[in-house]
Structure 1
Amino acid sequence: MGIQVTSEIKPLKKVLLHKPGEEIENLTPEYLERLLFDDIPFLEVAQQEHDAFAEILRQNGVEVVYLHELAAEVIADEKIKEEFLNQFLDEADIKSEEVRKNVYDYLKSFKSNEELIRKTMAGINKNELPAIEKKSLVDLVDDEYPFVADPMPNLYFTRDPFASIGDGISLNKMYSVTRNRETIYADFIFKYHPEHKGTKRLYNRDFEFSIEGGDILNISETVLAIGISQRTTPQAIERIAERIFFETEGNKIETVLAFDIPKTRAYMHLDTVFTQVDHDKFTIHPQIEGPLKIFELTKGENGKVNILEETMTLQEILSKHLGCDVKLIRCGGGDYVISQREQWNDGSNTLCIKPGEVVVYSRNHVTNKLLVENGVKIHVIPSSELSRGRGGPRCMSMPLVREL
């Protein structure tokens, strides 16, 4: 079926994950900010937690596919592998031709395509390459930095590099150069993988303005919500609306709702402050209830997008566009200290696998109890290490197929 996602809550049938790998082991305290991490997870435990996440999904009828496996299947073709390697080296921004040649030879030496893909994700340390005679200034600059190609520790948050929208995708231009390299894998998968090639793109990684998947929520078949956030620009939202309304066929989306949310790390993406858990229920960070500034984008005349600005509470806007009275379940029960703590650990970031049934982190015990009290079935996964990356179950998953 390729891509088929028109809802946040319809039964999940197929999902893309990335199990954390050696890229986590390549985090060091002095380079956390550069690599957009706040802490260093313990890899062995993070992998155990991720395996538990995947197993819960499988037990509930969800097919789990892994990013590195799909990418490895794509580069089984030698011509595509050559194209991939050259693009990877270009985007790794290796200045020295001698170093670039050494990295190319090193990557070509891998006998397994899965190992090759995993190495490009993990980062390449200078000590993995043969020593070269430093002949030029560019070889000498930044000599203390340990990597010739940076690790990609954020990859286990598969929600961000692309977003499934209907039967198409938004292949995203990420907010930072550090994360924009992550989208190379999806680029090749949607170009060449037999199950996904030809998928229409509602946005592309080479567009000018940044947008990330955590800000994109399929509220219904006809309504798409996107956060104007620290990492998603209003220009990108307007561009994706133009693509949906005028430049691609088969879209059923009639309204794009742009939510103006605080531009801080705590409110990194729209899905860190609210996620849908049932037809009429959302779990939310209480400080996002509003009134909010919201923009309704709809199809206008002569290729123009109509934009209506409104100030409404979150409950009002969601009730209006879902056509029912929506209930908001506050993270931490609305208590300031509890909600701030559990929001930091993604208490509002749940993955809905069917209406009224969600995957949650174990550490957000107050919010989890409230979900149960409000009739929501929860599947609890261990989270001491995965949560250190500042992303929850929704962040760690990219639905590819939900039931229509």
Structure 2
Amino acid sequence: MQVSVETTSQIERRITIQVPAAEIDEAVSARLKDTAKNIRLNGFRKGRVPMAVVHQRYGKDVRNEVVGEVMRERYVRAITDEGLNPAGFPHIDATVNESGKDLEFVATMEVYPEIELASIEGTSVERPVVEITDADIDEMIETLRKQNADWEETDAAAKDGDQVTLDFQGFLGDEPFEGGSAEGHALVLGSNSFIPGFEAQLEGVKAGDEKSINVTFPDDYQAEHLAGKEATFKVKVHKVATKKLPDVDDAFIQRFGVEGGDESQFRAEIKKNMTRESEQAIDNRVKQQVLDALKKANEIPVPASLVQQETDGMKRQAAQQFGLGEDFDVSQLPNELFAEQAKSRVQVGLLLAEVIKSNGLEATDDEIKAKVEELAEQYQEPQQVVDYYMGNEQMKTQVKSAVLEEKAVDKLLEQANVSDVTMSYQQVLAAAQKQEESEEAEESEQA
């Protein structure tokens, strides 16, 4: 076997492989003899078909089968001998494939890029410092009260935040339009779930009132036949209900798993959860700054095959997220929606892998278990979660990757100039939300 490797780009290799004709012809001949033992043709007994007939009937298919097997086997042998590290599957073409001639084929493949990490020395990284105060805990308890409020019917006029149950029908001029009516619809004023201006005009109504509401559909409204149009809704109010917040008593506290309804323990649990949430937001903010700096300092070529693999994975996640079903063909989702984010993920993954490798970072079983226990704290039965993860090699591998990634980020942080910035709990969560929205907007623009 003769092998030559041509470097066509930083991450692409073109391998030309030649296999002596005798090897192919002998393998084809042997395969045809085996085939002849089992075939049946009219006029011949089983195993008695002349080889000339067997070759005429099956020679082409058998040769293609043998050549396919040989190309795959010799490709693997070649990349092993040449020390190549393929990223994804090759594209293989036979350039000479004739009986009596040496088989020649070309395998075009992508390889993992050779990375010489550039330092992020001098990068400025802001690390939020958050203290959970009693006022923060009070605000969280108030939020929990609102989330668990009951609706209490009232004779008073509806105000912002009240729930109005109503029938409505929409008209363009004197003609009702499709999809513009409902009965017994419960609408919370101020929720902005209706057309702009609709909810505000319901403030002040009482049960039994009838009213006409005039609105203008936004120019970018999803239903094109309504976009920018003026409409009138005839409304009948059945009832108005106001929120009744629960008292912070034993029964309320026990809803959140605090046995006995002890308020001090309840506040301690809330603080623990808020602390964990803020620490996650801080870690994510610091990590994102580090990874942005790492990518900026290391512009590397990214194998298209790895990007496609990541794109396919993101498509499957999107299909699951939107409940499209296991049978949904994810190829229907355009690659363009995911390609840029997929490329960024692959670039980061390659760079972090090099950080881990070059620094000899490892994750011990104790470190993996500690990470699992940290993740399990947010569940009601944490020990069950720990047992599940530690007893499942696939889940353990995922956690191991997370531990190694954290270690890599910490190692990179040693090169950066880290400054602490005091922030409130609300500020750090708002900043995390803003960062997430910014990333989503950037991905949408790129798509």
Normalised TM-score (structure 1): 0.21
Structure richer in helix, relative to its length: 2
Q: Structure with the greater relative contact order (CA < 8 A, sep ≥ 6): 1 or 2?
A: 1
Normalised TM-score (structure 2): 0.20
